[in-house]
Amino acid sequence: MWNWRITAFCALILLLVAIAAVSFGPISINFFKVFKTLFDLPGGATGQNRTVILQLRLPRVILGVLVGAALATSGAVYQTVFHNPLADPYLLGAASGAGLGATIALTSTHHNLQGALPIFAFLGGVLAVVTSFFISGKFFADPNSLLLSGIAVGSFATAIQTYLQQRHSAALRPVYSWILGDLTSASWSVVAWSSIYIAFALIILFSVAKQLDGLMLSDEEAYSLGINPKRLRIIAVAAATLATATAVSASGLIGFVGIVVPHLVRGLTHRVTNRSLISIAMAGAAFLVLADLGARTLLSPAELPIGVITAFVGAPFFLVVLRNRRKIMR
């Protein structure tokens, strides 16, 4: 019972937002010129404007699309797997693990290590989630035990991170700005490696999206309906974690997308989350690109951290949706 109209609507919004994001900034470029440049048609921008479009803004918009899609989809999947509407992609220690990895890189005196920050963040995030798996012991028999061990591992990583920060106060500012997240690191090379992991993870998640409905039931019910719930949980959590860790290592900790967007799409469409997974991915991408546009232009030429925008806009918007949903339910 797929509603293609919602998907088409999200795709259209994403396209418009993306073109707007490439057009606006300290230098505004005509909408049509951007369009012609992007599709290599005659009459496109030349010289400096062409460089701004193709080398600065386009990779940044594409990274925003990737990170937004990754965070929103992972959030929706985690909410299903853990039967918890408040679950977000950072739940199993991915955020604190990545934060610790980034802090190790930033506090290191060795210059080469600082350049390897994304790798450290990625490894930290994945390592934290894998540790949570093993500590939980029950190997996915009970999602709640995994959730609790994720919280414990997360606190442990945060404690080490805080200690390192205290010891290296010079690194406080870069660590802090990394934690708030930004897309300024965007370049074609970052887009290239992050798109491989994120696309791989999202293809897996979209291909099991319909079966994820079964994880909303008890394990016995899911099994009787032809699903292996433990295996599906492992696949879903592993893919969502890969997408999250990649997003975090490319752009830092951007909060709120993973919770707000799935609820927003569900609230507006009144549909089961998993059935709108592609729409959620596109809405997440559009949301993040729009937030980044705000971060770049609101205090131009200065930049706001994108996490500030996502929370500042996301939180009130979320409350409005929540309130309307309650009205409908009454």
**Beta carbon of residue 15, minimum distance to another protein (angstroms, whole number):** 26
Q: Contact, 187 vs 57, CB < 8 A?
A: no
By CB under 8 A, tell whether 329 contacts another protein: yes
By CB under 8 A, tell whether 88 contacts another protein: no
Name the token pair of 155: 């606190």
- Output 43 or 85, the one with its CB closest to another protein: 85
3-state secondary structure of 209: coil
- Output 5 or 231, the one with its CB closest to another protein: 231
**Beta carbon of residue 204, minimum distance to another protein (angstroms, whole number):** 15
3-state secondary structure of 33: helix
> Alpha-carbon distance 281 to 79, whole Å?
14
Cβ within 8 Å of residue 175, ≥6 positions away: 102, 103, 106, 107, 161, 165
Any alpha helices (H) in 168-276, and if so which ranges?
172-180, 188-208, 219-224, 229-251, 257-269
Three-point CA angle 32, 37, 39, nearest 5°? 95
Q: How many CA atoms lie within 13 A of 187 on its CB side?
A: 2
Q: Contact, 76 vs 86, CB < 8 A?
A: no
Q: Contact, 255 vs 181, CB < 8 A?
A: yes
- Output 82 or 178, the one with its CB closest to another protein: 82
- Output 25 or 143, the one with its CB closest to another protein: 143
- Output 91 or 179, the one with its CB closest to another protein: 91
First to last CA, the chain: 26
By CB under 8 A, tell whether 206 contacts another protein: no
Binding positions for another protein, 2-21, rule CB under 8 A: 2
Q: Which stretch binds another protein (CB under 8 A): 5-13, 188-196, 209-217, 240-248?
A: 209-217
Q: Indicate which single residue of 211, 251, 279, 310 sits in contact with another protein (rule: CB under 8 A).
A: 211
> Alpha-carbon distance 92 to 162, whole Å?
19
Q: Which stretch binds another protein (CB under 8 A): 36-44, 50-58, 210-218, 300-308?
A: 210-218
3-state secondary structure of 25: coil
Q: How many residues bind another protein (CB under 8 A)?
A: 27
- Output 40 or 220, the one with its CB closest to another protein: 220
Binding positions for another protein, 68-87, rule CB under 8 A: 83, 85
Any alpha helices (H) in the chain, and if so which ranges?
4-23, 31-38, 47-51, 58-81, 94-107, 111-115, 117-136, 143-167, 172-180, 188-208, 219-224, 229-251, 257-269, 277-297, 306-329
**Beta carbon of residue 201, minimum distance to another protein (angstroms, whole number):** 20
**Beta carbon of residue 5, minimum distance to another protein (angstroms, whole number):** 17
Binding positions for another protein, 246-275, rule CB under 8 A: 266, 270-273, 275
> Alpha-carbon distance 101 to 95, whole Å?
10
**Beta carbon of residue 269, minimum distance to another protein (angstroms, whole number):** 9
Binding letters toward another protein, positions 212-251, x by CB under 8 A: -xx-xxxxxx-xxxxx------------------------
Chain positions contacting another protein, by CB under 8 A? 1-2, 83, 85, 209-211, 213-214, 216-221, 223-227, 266, 270-273, 275, 329
